[in-house]
Amino acid sequence: MRAHTAYLWFTTRSPRELINITDRVAEIVETAGVEEGFCLVSAMHITSGVYVSDWENGLIHDFQVWLEKLAPSGLDYRHHQTGEDNADAHLKRTIMGHQVLLPITEGKLDLGPWEQVFYAEFDGQRRKRVIVKVMGESGTERAER
């Protein structure tokens, strides 16, 4: 069994951004040297998420509009009595999901034709982190079986 852990850091320019991180995750998988296994990509902050979707700018815009409708900012959330103003960011990330588990087959991310991995920031403009953890069987281990 082989395990490999990496962290991606983000400081977005806008408070909300949806960023394609597929290539960065694929690179980590290559470094890990795992032939058959799983790759966890998980936001380590509770106002951001990770999800899989299509890389199309119109759709990215639609997601932002939709999330604002389902989980509006600017409401009188009780969380804001603590001095915070980001309750909606917690709700938005809940809808998008905070993590994905990607299959690795024959040493590569085993994704469908339009599957792309996104980092979803809802309270940005400061340093935040995503863990990428790979676990599985290396090529050497497979050969020895």
Taking residues 82 to 101 in sequence order and writing x for each that binds its own copies by CB under 8 A, - otherwise, the string is x----x--xx--xxxxxxxx
Examine residue 26 and tell whether it contacts its own copies (CB under 8 A): no
| 118: helix, strand or coil | strand
| Neighbour count for residue 127 (Cβ, 10 Å) | 10
Q: What is the CA radius of gyration of the chain?
A: 17
Phi and psi torsions of 75, nearest 5°: -80, 170
Examine residue 68 and tell whether it contacts its own copies (CB under 8 A): no
Largest CA distance in the chain: 61
Quote the least distance from Cβ 9 to its own copies, whole Å.
Answer: 12
| 1: helix, strand or coil | coil
**Could you list the residues that contact its own copies (CB under 8 A)?**
1, 3, 5, 36-38, 40, 42-46, 51-54, 56-59, 61-63, 66, 70-71, 77-82, 87, 90-91, 94-101, 103, 105, 110-115, 129, 131, 133, 135-137, 141
